[in-house]
Amino acid sequence: MTPLLTVEGLTMRFGGIAALERVGFTVSAGSITALIGPNGAGKTTVFNCLTGFYQATAGAITLQGPTGSLDLVAILGQPLRGSDFLDPVTLARRLFYKMFGGSHRVTRAGVARTFQNVRLFKEMTVMENLLVAQHLRVERNLLAGLLGTPGYRRAEQAAVARGLDWLQILGLRDAANRLAGELPYGDQRRLEIARALCTGPRLLCLDEPAAGLNPRETEALSDLILRLRTQHGLTILLIEHDMSLVMRVSDHVVVLDHGEVIARGTPQAVRQDPRVLTAYLGMEEEGGP
């Protein structure tokens, strides 16, 4: 399978603390990849680097796009280097991303994410949450909006229709006009996924989507994740602590511990890996009990 996302030598340091040390993995197009590891292993840091919330200290993150590959680290804007001044093309690109780059460009490239602690626009309605996510697709011209031109109205209607489609798929259609903050917790989680989907991503990053859900909701969530892959052609990268969910949905598992990748492979292979067992359960004592 072709890789959609390639992470190579990703290193992230906060001051003297190395949160990630040369992390590397690939996410194949159309796969479900799980990123697991004990608390503090650096999973969310990987996510924040991928989605542009942190600027990686070193390493490359490459997203294969329809028009060629895209370096997700460069579009955040990097400091200029001496060698840039010899190559005007690189210099121009660096200057452009330095001025206009940022995490929003990562989303525009086709990477959407959810958050570990739900981050909805609580005082806005469910539908408005989805419309904000489609900001880049609607008619943003001020005059068109003020005059209510046909093109503007068509774009708005299309956005509402697209939002309703995703609400239907996630089973939230009846809640379209409720305030996002009023929804039950499980619905809020699903709404966040719907909002991420509304940006039209190719890679969907879910940060602990099952946290706080009961077993039945978790099962429904795993069905949903599988359906998103098969019916909507999405590639999914997820962080999860719930092993039953990970084992059920993922094709590929990457295990992180102390900022390093200690294992990767199929769920079955990873489950038997002695290093993974050590990381999760601790070292077995000599001789045993």
Partner 1 sequence: MTGRDGFLDAARWGLLALLVFGPITGLVLDGYQVVVHWQQPVWLAALVFGGRLLLNGLLATGPGQRLARRLARGRAGGSVLVVAGGRGHGRIWILILLALLSLALPFALSKYWINVATLALIYVLLGLGLNIVVGLAGLLDLGFVAFYAVGAYGYALGHQYLDLGFWQAIPFCAFLAACFGAVLGFPVLRMHGDYLAIVTLGFGEIIRLILNNWVEFTGGPNGVRVPHPSLFGLDFARRAKEGGATFHGYFDLPYSADHRVIFIYLVLLLMVMAMVHVVVRLRRMPIGRAWEALREDEIACRSLGINHVGIKLSAFAMGATVGGVGGVFFAASQGFVSPASFTFFESALILAVVVLGGLGSTVGVIIAALVLTILPEVLREFADYRILVFGLAMVLMMVWRPRGLLGLRRQAYGVDP
Q: Assess 115 for contact with partner 1 (CB under 8 A).
A: yes
| Member of 81, 98, 104, 232 binding partner 1 (CB under 8 A) | 104
Residue 119 backbone phi and psi in degrees, to 5: -120, 80
Minimum Å gap between C-beta 41 and partner 1 is: 22
What's the sign of the alpha-carbon dihedral 200, 206, 212, 217? positive
**Residue carrying the six token digits 């309605």:** 125
> Collapsing DSSP states into helix, strand and coil, what is residue 234?
coil
Q: Are strands 260-265 and 252-257 parallel, antiparallel or unpaired?
A: antiparallel
Binds partner 1 by CB under 8 A, chosen from 33, 188, 199, 235 = 199
Element (H, E) at 167: helix 150-170
Beta carbons within 8 Å of 140's beta carbon, 6+ residues apart: none
C-alpha distances out from residue 69 to 8, 65, 100, Å: 14, 5, 20
Is 2 one of the binding residues for partner 1 (CB under 8 A)? no
Q: How far apart are CA 248 and CA 81, in angstroms?
A: 46
Position 102 contacts partner 1 (CB under 8 A): yes
Site string for partner 1, 34-73 (x = CB under 8 A): -----------------xxx--------------------
Q: By three-state DSSP, how is residue 33 classified?
A: strand
Q: How far is the CB of 13 from partner 1 (least distance, A)?
A: 22
Instruction: Using the minimum distance from each CB to partner 1, give the nearer residue, 103 or 235.
Output: 103
**Which one of 179, 220, 247, 262 is in contact with partner 1 (CB under 8 A)?**
179
Q: Which stretch binds partner 1 (CB under 8 A): 135-143, 239-247, 264-272, 281-289?
A: 135-143
Amino acid at 190: R
Query: What is the greatest pairwise CA distance in the chain?
Result: 80
- Scanning 14-22, 56-64, 76-84, 171-179 for contacts with partner 1 by CB under 8 A, the matching segment is 171-179
The site for partner 1 (CB under 8 A) is made up of 51-53, 100, 102-105, 107-108, 112-113, 115, 119-125, 127-129, 131-133, 135-136, 138-140, 142, 145-146, 148, 160-161, 164, 173-174, 176-179, 195-196, 199
